Amino acid sequence: MSDLAIKTVNLTKRYSGLWSKQAVEAVKNLNLEVYRGEIFGFLGPNGAGKTTTIKVLLGIIYPTEGEAYVLGQPAGDPKNHYRISYLPENPYFYDFMTGREILTFYAKLFGIAEPERSKRVNELLDRVGLSRAADQTLRTYSKGMLQRIGLAQCLINDPELLILDEPTAGLDPIAHIDIRDMILDLRNQGKTLFISSHQLSDVERVCDRVAILNKGVMVQLGRIEELLAGGHVEVIADKVPDNALEPIHQLGGKVSLHDGRLIVEQPDNGSVDRVIDIVRAAGGHIISVKPYRRSLEDLFVETIQGGKNA
C-alpha cells in the first residue's frame, strides 16, 4: 500500500438504535483507495455516510466490520497523529486568543521548538493571508478568516494527508478562490487531500478523482474527466423546412421547435456536422452552435435521484 494514502476494505459501520432493535448501517462494505499526492472528492447527500467514514479514518470511532488504513497504518494508529490533519466544517478555536497565539499553541502541542516554531507560524500566517490580522483575537475574525486560520492550523505539522470537511462553505468569493488555490498548491507540493464537500463546482475544479456515496453505499467512483465524459451540442437554426426534420431525428439527437426555431441537442459524437449539413442543404439558417459539457452537479443529481448503484 506504499502508493495509497487511504484504503478501506469492506468497511461497514452499524449503529444500534436506542429504542429500536433494528440496526442502522451508516456505511456498507465501502472499498476505497486514495492515492498519495491526489485531491480526492468524497461526495454524497446529507446522511450518506461521509462523516461516519471520516470518523473511522481518524480513529474517532471503530468499524463494525471491515478494515481501514491511513498512510499504511491501521486507522487511528498513534504513529499517524503527526502525519495527518483534519479541518472540520465548523472549526472551534479559543476565540480570546489571537491568530498568532492559536498557531503557536498548536505548534507547541506538536513539539515544534524555537526558532522553527516562530518561523513556521509566520510563514503560515503569510501563506493564508492573515499576517495583518495575526495579533487580532479570533472573536473578531470573519467566517473566511476563521477558515483560513483553520487551514493554517492544519498545516502547522506539515502533514502528508489533509482531511477537509467543507473547506469553502460560507465564504465570500475572494476567500473562496484563495482557499481553492491553496488546495491546488498543496497538491502541487505532493500532499494528499481528502475533501468532503457540497460545493460541487469546487470539487470539479480541483479534484483528480471523486466518490459518491448514497445511503452508505458507494455508487460512483472515478476520475473527473471520465465520469463527466459526453455532453451535447446545441444547434439552433431557423427557416428549416419540415422535410429536413426526419433526417435530423434519425441522427439520435433531441429535436424541438420553439418560436419557429429548430433546436437540436445532439450528442457530441461527430454527428453535429451532419446536422449542420442537413440544415444548410435544406435552405435553413444556422443561428448558433453551443457545446454543453456535463457538470459534476449533473452527475450528482442523476446518480442520487436515479438511485444508481455502481
Q: Give the tens place of pLDDT for each residue, 95-106.
A: 999 999 999 999
Residue type, 204: E
Mean predicted lDDT score pLDDT of the chain: 91
Question: What angle, rounded to 10 degrees, do the helices at 116-127 and 143-155 form?
Answer: 140
Residues contacting 13, CB < 8 A, separation 6+: 25, 26, 27, 49, 52, 53, 56, 61, 63, 64
- Residue 298 · residue 272 · CB < 8 Å: no
pLDDT of res. 310: 42
pLDDT of res. 18: 66
18: cell is: 436506542
| Torsion angles phi and psi, residue 145, rounded to 5 | -65, -40
- 11 CB burial (10 A radius; 0-12, 13-18, 19+): buried
Torsion of CA 88, 91, 92, 98, to 10 degrees: 140
pTM: 0.84
- Residue 66 · residue 7 · CB < 8 Å: no
pLDDT of res. 19: 66
Ordered by where they begin, the domains of the chain are 4-227 (3.40.50.300), 232-293 (3.30.70.3400)
pLDDT of res. 178: 86
Alpha-carbon distance of 107 to 184, in angstroms, equals 24
* Under-50 pLDDT residues of the chain: 309-310
- Residue 307 · residue 267 · CB < 8 Å: no
| Torsion angles phi and psi, residue 132, rounded to 5 | -70, -25
Q: How far is CA 254 from CA 127, 234, 278, in A?
A: 50, 9, 15
Over residues 181-231, the pLDDT tens digits come to: 989 999 999 999 999 999 898 899 999 999 999 999 999 999 998 998 878
pLDDT of res. 69: 96
Handedness of CA 48, 53, 54, 60 (dihedral sign): positive
Alpha-carbon distance of 278 to 248, in angstroms, equals 7
pLDDT of res. 20: 63
